[in-house]
Amino acid sequence: METTPQSPADEKPLVFLAQPLFPEFAAALAGRYRFVLAADADAAAAAEARVLLVPGLATVTAQHLARLPALELVAGTSVGVDHVDLDTCRSRGLSVTNAGPAFAVDSADYAVGLVVAVLRRVASADAYVRRGRWAADGDYPLATKVSGKRVGIVGLGNIGSRIARRLAAFGCAVSYHSRSPKPSSPYTFVPALLDLAAGSDVLVLSCALTDETKHMVNREVMEALGKNGVLINVGRGGLVDEPELVRCLRDGVLGGAGLDVYANEPAVPPELFGMDNVVLSDHRAVITPESIRGALEVVTANLDAFFSGRPLVSPVQL
C-alpha cells in the first residue's frame, strides 16, 4: 500500500502557541516550525504538542497544561515567568525557559534612568518648564544628588548585577538581598530585606515574582526606607503592596518612587498621577528594538536546542 509523502509543512517541528506570535517573531520563525494556536487546536494536535511557546505575558494555567499530555517544554519570551503555573510544571517535570538574557542590559539601563529621574525630579522639572512656570515663578526646587547614595538591590541576577555595576560607577554604595549570597559579588549581602531597606537611600526591585516574594515590600519595609527613601520597581508590580505604597507616598512615609510595573496592568493607581515625586512608565524597561531581536535569538536557540536534544540555553530553575 502506498503512503502519502509528508509535506514540507508536516516535517517542521510542532510548536503550540499560548497566544498569537508578535509580528517580528512570526516573520522570523515561520519557516522553521509549524505553529498551532492553542485556542484553535483540536484534541489530536494538543495530544501531539511537546512545546508550548508563550508570547509576552499570556497566562498559562494548570488547565491549559492539562490539555497537553505530551508537553515537555514551556518556552517563554519574557524575563519573568510568574504568568505560568510553575507548580504544575514542576510536578510534571516540564522544562521552562525565559528570554531574560536578552532583556538584562535594557532593563538595567532603565532602572538607573528611573533612579536619576526620581532623585533629580527630571519629569517634574520638565513639566514645570513646559507649563511656563520657570519664567513666571522662578527656578524649580532643588532635588537631591544621585552620586554617593546607598543603594539596595533586591535580586542580584542578570538584571540586578548590571544595575549594581552601573550605580557603583556613580559612586553609590551598593548592597543586595537575595535568596542566598553571591560568592563572586563585590557587593554587601544583607540577609533580611527590612535591614536592607533601613540601610538604603534607594531600594531597587529586580527579582522574580513568586509566592515567597509577593508583597515583600510592605508598609514595614517602606517605613524602614523612610521619608527620604526612593523605591524603584522594574521587577513585577506584585512585589509591592500597592495600596500601602500609595498611602506611604501620600502621607510622606516614603520619599518617592519610580515604577515601570504595577499590580493590575494596565491599571495604575490614579492617586499616583498627581505626585511629582513619582515617575511612571508602562512596563517598557525591557523593551527596545534591540532587546526584541535578542529575545528572538534566545527563543530560537531554546527551540532549536530542544528539538535537537541539546541543553537549553536559558532554563528557569523551578
Catalytic residue IDs = 236, 265, 283
DSSP 148-181: T-EEEEE--SHHHHHHHHHHHTTT-EEEEE-SS-
Q: Could you identify the residue written with the cell 510595573?
A: 261
Measured distance CA(89)–CA(250) in Å, rounded: 41
Q: How many CB atoms lie within 10 A of CB 83?
A: 18
Measured distance CA(294)–CA(301) in Å, rounded: 11
Calculate Rg over the CA atoms of the chain.
22
Q: Could you identify the residue written with the cell 532602572?
A: 111
Cell of 106: 535594557
Measured distance CA(305)–CA(43) in Å, rounded: 26
Where are the alpha helices (H) located in 13-139, listed in sequence order?
A: 23-29, 43-48, 62-66, 86-92, 100-119, 122-130, 133-137
Among candidates 238, 237, 236, 232, which has minimal Cα distance to 279? 232
Contact (CB, 8 A) for 119 and 149: yes
Measured distance CA(36)–CA(19) in Å, rounded: 10
Q: What three-state secondary structure class fits 232?
A: strand
Q: What three-state secondary structure class fits 114?
A: helix
The helix (run of H) or strand (run of E) holding residue 31 is: none
